[in-house]
Amino acid sequence: MSAQLLVVALAVASLCGAAEPDCEELVKPLQVDTHSPIFGKWVLHVGTWDDPGLRNDLVAANSSWIELSSSSKSGTVSLYWADRLNDNKCLQGSADVTVSGMTSHFTFTINNHTSYHDGKYYATCPDCLLSEDTTLLPDGKSKGRYLFLFTRSGKLEPSELETFKKQATCLGFLQEYHFLDSDLCPDDRKIAAPDEGEEPAESAD
């Protein structure tokens, strides 16, 4: 190979190498414990998947939020979630998340259908939560994975979105994304019930 061709080959190799994300730096798992920065309310901004068959379940949601809080049970985190679907119907519920090291496991039931999940969390932008969710079949085998990026406000800087896309590539997800809006379901837990002994207000005729 001539010196000129060698220089061209090295330049191309250098450009290709520069285009590849530094996955070791971009993807750093978080230890899940009482000191983890995962607690509080989070609004889902964008998600992706690694199997085309999972797409429909995610795009069925217009908006989604979760709340993670510590639990009195050892090795457990409390999860509350609320999804607004395309038909404007709100679904919400709670689950106990079992955590161990850098992984979590939880189940929840919707319309008599039980869903099983394993989770991981990764370091990400300030006031963001990056969660990998593996959906499991009843026999424990993987049905596929989602990658979710939550924020405190539901908003995200363009540079933070680009970082998320690079992280998704590092973790083997498809370069397809579903963006959710901020029209969130209300928290059913905060809907005040009449005080005990108080007569409900009469409706106007």
Domain boundaries, the chain: 25-101
Q: What is the pLDDT of residues 151-165, one digit of tens each?
A: 998 889 999 999 999
Q: What is the pLDDT of residues 95-145, one digit of tens each?
A: 888 888 777 877 766 656 677 888 999 999 999 999 999 988 888 888 899
In the predicted model, what is the mean pLDDT of residues 18-38? 77
- pLDDT: is 6 or 84 the higher one? 84
Rounded to an integer, what distance in angstroms lies between the CA atom of residue 111 and that of residue 90? 13
Rounded to an integer, what distance in angstroms lies between the CA atom of residue 79 and that of residue 62? 20
C-beta neighbour count of 189 within 10 angstroms: 10
**Structure confidence at residue 154 (pLDDT):** 85
Q: What pLDDT band is residue 20 in, cutting at 50, 70 and 90?
A: low
**Structure confidence at residue 18 (pLDDT):** 42
Token representation of residue 161: 């979105």
**Structure confidence at residue 113 (pLDDT):** 67
- pLDDT of 203 over the 50 cut: no
**Structure confidence at residue 168 (pLDDT):** 97
Token representation of residue 165: 């896309």
- pLDDT of 195 over the 50 cut: yes
In the predicted model, what is the mean pLDDT of residues 1-5? 47
Rounded to an integer, what distance in angstroms lies between the CA atom of residue 70 and that of residue 33? 9
Mean pLDDT of the chain: 82
- pLDDT of 6 over the 50 cut: no
In the predicted model, what is the mean pLDDT of residues 179-191? 90
Q: What pLDDT band is residue 16 in, cutting at 50, 70 and 90?
A: very low
- pLDDT of 38 over the 70 cut: yes
Beta strand spans in 101-141 (E): 103-110, 113-122, 128-136
Residue pair 36/156 in contact (Cβ under 8 Å)? The answer is no
Q: What pLDDT band is residue 7 in, cutting at 50, 70 and 90?
A: very low
CATH topology of domain 25-101: Lipocalin (2.40.128)
- pLDDT of 15 over the 70 cut: no
Rounded to an integer, what distance in angstroms lies between the CA atom of residue 6 and that of residue 4? 5
